[in-house]
Amino acid sequence: MDNALPKFDLPEDWLTGTDISKELLGLYKNYPVRLKCEIIALCMGGEIEASVNLNHFTVKKNDMITLMPGSIFQINDLKGELKIYFLGFSSRYVEQNDKAKTLLETIYSTMRKPKMALSEKGAAMVEKYYNLMIDVYENFDEKIRQEIADNIFADTHKGIALIYKKKSVKDDSSTSKSEQLCKGFTQLVMQHYNDNRNVAWYAEKLGITHAHLCSIVKQVTGKTCADIISSMVIMDAKSQLKSTQQSIQAISDSLNFANMSFFGKYFKRHVGMSPLEYRNKG
């Protein structure tokens, strides 16, 4: 079913602005779309009711939301006068420039809580950053924008990680046992996705049953354990295929597949094409 969802991407390596209107978002009302790109947005006016990976959120003033590649996004309702800043990175840029490792910390931070409520002061600081990025985008040509993309990508993701880290320290006391368990699982996946894709192994490491782990992760993130593991594996594989000259056999070995045939079948099941087809496509 997910493979049939319409997909949304960006036409340039990175894009920023404030021109997200009710009319534009209304196109996605009650109409799910899978994001190929990454979108980081700041709401400074109005209210958006949306679903991200089946989890319902209300985004209002001073809220920041980070939507990772592969997220299923749907608008449910729009209220008030919207003022939305956005900064996005295209799937082509993320996949071709070896960004998987940079994304890992952001994926971990935002997987459970893609929406972050900022203080008035915090939102004002982030708004200034968006305005700076908009000035940069509008005053430099495409060649320069491409040259500075790596710096913007790195700085933006470091900032997101720091904001979430600071916020999580304050929220730790109110974090539920389910969220703590999910946090432990995602940390383990980040450390071991390239050598272990067995959900039962992660459950054993966490000292709980396979069924309990699957139930909690689905409840907290809206995704299955297998989805989370495979998303890490596929992101790494895509990055290596596009940004290195490594042979497909070497990439298969680096991800600990028994042989290249198993890797090919796994990749095709999740991406819809073989590793070689993916590497050779435009």
Contact status, residue 104 vs residue 73, Cβ threshold 8 Å: no
Q: What is the mean pLDDT of residues 43-59?
A: 87
If DSSP codes are grouped into helix, strand and coil, which group holds residue 118? Answer: coil
By residue count, the chain amounts to: 282
Domain count across the chain: 2
Q: Are 163 and 110 in contact (CB under 8 A)?
A: no
Average pLDDT over residues 52-77: 85
Comparison of pLDDT for 211 and 7, the residue scoring more: 211
State whether 156 and 233 are in the same domain: no
Q: Which of 48-62, 105-119, 189-203, 253-267 has the lowest mean pLDDT?
A: 105-119
CATH number reported for the structural domain that contains residue 92 in this entry: 2.60.120.280
For the chain, the farthest-separated pair of C-alpha atoms sits apart, in whole angstroms, at 55
What pLDDT, on a 0 to 100 scale, did the predictor assign at position 4?
A: 47
Domain boundary among 124, 157, 173: 173
Residue pair 81/45 in contact (Cβ under 8 Å)? The answer is yes
Q: Is residue 3 pLDDT above 50, yes or no?
A: no
Q: How far lies 120's CA from each of 123, 210, 243, in Å?
A: 5, 42, 40
| pLDDT tens, position by position, 208-261 | 999 999 999 998 888 899 998 998 888 778 877 876 788 999 999 989 999 999
Looking at the fold, whether 91 and 149 belong to one and the same domain comes out as yes
**pLDDT tens column, 98-152:** 666 666 666 656 666 788 899 999 999 999 999 999 999 999 999 999 999 999 9
List the one residue out of 222, 228, 227 whose CA is nearest residue 184. 228
Same-domain check for residues 190 and 259: yes
Is there a single domain that holds both residue 157 and residue 200? no
Q: Are residues 53 and 146 in the same domain?
A: yes
Instruction: Write out the H or E segment, with its range, that includes residue 245.
Output: none
- DSSP letter string over 129-181? HHHHHHHHHHHS-HHHHHHTHHHHHHHHHHHHHHHHHHHHHHHGGG--HHHHH
Asked if 169 and 184 sit in the same domain, the reply is no
Six token digits for residue 244: 């290195």
| Residue pair 154/102 in contact by the 8 Å Cβ criterion | yes
Tokens of 80: 């008030």
At residue 170, does pLDDT exceed 60? no
Report the CATH number that the domain containing residue 197 is assigned in CATH.
1.10.10.60
Q: How confident is the model at residue 266 (pLDDT cuts 50, 70, 90)?
A: very high
- Mean pLDDT for 180-195 is 84
Distance CA 224, CA 231 (A): 11
Q: Are residue 93 and residue 160 in the same domain, yes or no?
A: yes
Same domain, 157 and 47: yes
- Boundaries of domain holding 131: 2-173
At 41, which amino acid appears? A
My answer on whether 131 and 163 are in the same domain is yes
Residues 111 and 152 in one domain: yes
What's the pTM value of the predicted model, to 2 decimals? 0.67
Same domain for 168 and 216?
Answer: no
Residues 124 and 87 in one domain: yes
